[in-house]
Structure 1
Amino acid sequence: MKINKYNSLIFAILFGFGLSAQAQTKVWTLEECVRYALDNNITIKLSELDVKNAAIDKKDAFGNYLPSVNGNAQHSWNIGRNTNPITNANTTETTQYTQLGVSAGVDIYKGLQNQNIYRRTKLSIIASQYQLVKMQEDVSLNVANAFLEILFNKENLKVRKEQLAIDEKRFTRSEEMVNAGTIPRGDLFDLKATVATDKQNIIVAENTLLISKLSLAQLLQLKDFTNFDVVDDTNVKDENGILLQNPVDIYNKAKEIRTDLKIAQTNLEIAEKNVVIAKGAYQPTLSGFYGFNTRAGYSDQVKFDENNIPYTTGPDPVFQQFSDNKGHNFGLQLNVPIFNGFSVRNNVERNKVSLEKSKIDLEQKSLDLQRNVYTAFTDAKGALNAYESSTVTLEARQQSYNYAKEKYDVGLMNSFDFTQAQTLLTNAQSDVIRAKYDYMFKIKILEFYFGIPIVPIIKN
């Protein structure tokens, strides 16, 4: 029989968990999960590297203030007729020359572009730090959601196991009633099928729980997830009284602290600085330069004696030539932009468009925040009402089930009707669990907007 890849993967995971079932299991709290994720999550590490890159860009911008200094050296062989760079005489021979030099340049005025570029890099560092904080906030919420998903699946599995235990006892009781002639044998077959279905539901619930644990372990970047489990903290409570707050107050608080708005505001300031930098290209630039060079040759020289009679002698000592042939040059260079194919103007206009987009983005982020806060508040209120209503429904279903059980035990209700009552009870129990964790997560979101993190986030 063929086993597809998905089934093989599930089997391997189940087998791995089975082998380690007896091993010591590390039980994690929500705070521990979030803190571990903040320290180890890959996306957060990438954001941290972006902050480092922004700091390097700032060093580059500071370097624009400093002069540039370069050294050069050249050694050449000239064959045939050429000009001797030492004597400037035309010769026909093979010669060697060495040339050394140092040059330096510095921007004196560049339309204040260097200063504005430096200020922009400082804003970029702030923006990257805000982006890191936002990534930490997003990971925290994702971890909280995955954590609560595990708790939901654990409680769901517990309900399924309790249901199986009840049905197995009922099956045993029904066998006795069939033997006593109280109920027909057909009811026993129905109960046997119900028990089998309960066992299937438990397998599905166990697999769902396993996958949810695996998802959180991967979010935490855990290498060994076989012994991973979380604390069964299932209390439903609004510890910080966030629902007692007015949504207007929550929104005003969120406007002060939300990282999304800070990122948008910083990007707007960067866009404004880009416009100023682009306009700087309209202005003249003034730079200073300095150069030093010297050279030496290695060919024989023709000299004249006191009677003006030529004679041939070897080259002067190299270091003496370097001393005799040294030279300096320095000065100022002024560049005035006159016409450049509209490139400067187009660049200014392009940055103005980006500035307008940044303004709109900031406005949109503010509107989104207002909508998200009011939605989160309404959702949390609704989730609380849903939880309270499902609890009332569960109590009624429990009473209905108890009444149906009493009737079934004395033969006044058939197996089908009793199973229906039991199914309604199981569904009510599942609804309570689902509503409870939905409420818990939505409270976390609302607290998040009000500036109450799951764990304190350390800002760089």
Structure 2
Amino acid sequence: MMNAQITIKRGFSLFLLVFLISSGNLQAQSGWTVDDCMRYAVEQNYRIRNSRLDTRIAGEDLTAAYGDFLPSVSTTGALGKRLGRSVDPKTNLYTSSSFLESTVGLNVSLPVFDGFTRVNRLQFRKLNRQLSGLTEKIEENRIAFEVMDAFFRLRFDEKMYRLAVEQRKLSERYHGQMLEYVELGMRSPSDLQEVKARLQSDVYQETVKANSCRFSLLALKELLNMRNADTLAILPDKENELPALPAPDSNELYAASETSLPEFRAMELRERASRKSLAIASGAFSPSVKAEFSLYSGYYDTERNESGGIVPIKEQLKNNMNKYIGVSVSLPLFSGFSRLTGVRKERFRLRQIQNENEQQRIGLYKEIDDACLSLRASIEEHRQALEQLRSSSITLRESEEKWEEGMISVFELMEKRNLYIMAKAELSRTRLQYELKKKLVEFYRTGSFVTSESTRK
């Protein structure tokens, strides 16, 4: 009965493993690398698409700012009939007769000076468009980091699942040997029960690890905007020793990141945009000068020719033409405290942005310093874990030989086996931590997680 239960649970775990890593197409068979996942997520993510639309909207705002330098042109037209007492346009005298009146006009207004408000607004829109582009890049890096973290989490869970399978297989081998020893009278039934209990626990842990793989896979698919039915398999990492890389220096990496990370450029643009916003608010105290030109004409049915007929419309429009050319100056004197408070608020916002930028620089330096320290620590931890695994492997083999000869108890054997599995798990953890921190350090140096290669189809 015990063996039947174990067989059923092994079959269930095998089904979960096949569900997780089986492939239904060429992409899944070859496997996805972390770079493939990041590039795919950047192209499929809707937040990034919205960020790109924000950049295009900022471009339209910039076009509108250029349009502020063009003259404003408008035309007017009116047609109506005057009734009652009104001024006769022909004689400029009051009349009680009703008459038809039609006027047309053209107005042209060109701003000459407005306290450099238009210039500052144009520069402000330029900075906003550049800032939108950087915001798009920052969003891409944030999504790529989330995908990278989920990718390595899935890889770690798959490693833990394989270790659980290996641990269960060892327990099955010990269980089979223990059955033979009990039949031969070399071991007590209590030892057999202990091995059975350990085997049952290992089967349970294998199921738990398989479920963890499934949840990690679903989390990665969500970041890739894949459906649950879509097939996805990732490439396993190479089980080799880490290269002897020079330890990165935090100060040098921070200096490189100042020219590569979009966050630093975004901080600079935010401060410059705030200064332009302050200049726009200060421009409200300056006079405004406009050049104006207008052209008007009209048609009236009161205008008669020598024969008593109404003068034709074409002739009236020509005869009644009037023009205006002039310059208007507007000087703001007093409008409450709105302009003054507007300038003060922009100054306060500028100080806020400067404080936020300084705080962000401190935070980025701490993140870079932590990434460098973690990378160096992961290299050393991986070396120690590798030595620990070698020692644990030798100790496990020796313990198995002693157990087969009856020199140690099953408890001691299981303890050595657990140490061996823990050593392999620690080796996998340090290896994945090294890869994660290595990519993070490279990101601070280059300013991007995603390479320029085309997305895999």
* TM-score normalised according to structure 1 size: 0.84
The alignment covers a number of residue pairs equal to 436
Task: Report the equivalent of 2:112.
Answer: 108
Aligned to 1:438: 433
Q: Which residue of 1 aligns with 2:384?
A: 389
Pick from 325, 329, 332: which aligns with 1:334?
Answer: 329
State the secondary structure of the residue aligned to 1:74.
Answer: strand
Equivalent of 1:232 in 231, 236, 239:
236
Q: What's the counterpart of residue 164 of structure 1?
A: 168
Mapped pair 1:283 → 2:278: no
State the shift of 1:342 in Å. 2.5
C-alpha contact 2:90 2:303 (8 A) present in aligned 1: no
Work out which of the residue numbers 41, 58, 72 in structure 2 matches 1:54.
58
- For 1:170, what is the secondary structure of its paired residue? helix
Which residue does 1:255 correspond to in 2? 258
Deviates most, 219-228 or 182-191? 219-228
**What is the one-letter code of the residue matched to 1:177?**
Y
Secondary structure of residue in 1 paired with 2:285 = coil
The answer on 1:73 being equivalent to 2:77 is yes
Matches within 5 A, 1:126-145: 126-145=130-149
Residues 383, 438 of structure 1: 8 Å contact kept: yes
TM-score, normalised relative to structure 2: 0.85
Structure 1's 205 and 327: CA in aligned 2 closer, same or farther, altered over 3 A? Answer: same
Superposition map of 1:298-313 within 5 A: 301=302
- Quote the Cα distance in structure 2 between the aligned partners of 1:285 and 1:336: 7
Q: Which residue of 1 aligns with 2:277?
A: 274
Q: Please report how far the alpha carbon of residue 344 of structure 1 lies from its aligned counterpart in structure 2 after TM superposition.
A: 2.0
Say if 1:111 and 1:449 are closer, same or farther in 2 by CA, change over 3 A: same
Q: In structure 1, what is the Cα distance between the partners aligned to 2:68 and 2:244?
A: 51
The partner residue of 2:49 within 45, 48, 52 is 45
Structure 1 residues 93-135: Cα deviation after superposition (integer angstroms, max 9, x where no partner)? 7765433322221100011111121122222222222222222
Shift of 1:285: 0.8
Paired amino acid for 1:194: R
Instruction: Name stretches of at least 5 consecutive residues in structure 1 with no aligned partner.
Output: 1-13, 307-312
Q: Aligned AA for 1:23? A: G
Q: Cα RMSD (Å) of the superposition?
A: 3.1
Opposite residue 134 of structure 2, the aligned amino acid is: Y
**Residue identity opposite 2:48 in structure 1:** I
Describe the superposition over 1:177-211 as per-residue Cα deviations: whole angstroms up to 9, x where unpaired: 12111112233233233223222222222222222
User: Deviation string for 1:142-191 (max 9, x for gaps)?
Assistant: 22222222221221111111112221222222211121111122332332
**Alpha-carbon distance in structure 2 between the residues aligned to 1:344 and 1:237:** 67
Residue segments in structure 2 that go unaligned for 5+ positions in a row: 1-14
Residue of structure 1 in register with 2:8 after alignment = none
Residues 412-451 of structure 1 deviation map (CA, whole Å, 9 limit, x = unaligned):
3333343333233322322222222112211211222222
**Which segment is superposed worse, 258-267 or 129-138?**
129-138
In structure 2, C-alpha distance between the alignment counterparts of 1:361 and 1:40, rounded to whole Å: 31
SS of the residue corresponding to residue 245 of structure 1 reads coil
CA shift for structure 1 position 91: 5.6
Percent identity over the alignment is 21
The 3-state SS of whatever aligns with 1:28 is: coil
Displacement of 1:405 = 2.1
Is residue 23–residue 232 contact of structure 2 (8 Å, CA) maintained in 1? no
Q: What is the rounded CA distance, in whole Å, between the counterparts of 1:204 and 1:127 in structure 2?
A: 46
CA distance in 2, matches of 1:273, 1:289: 29
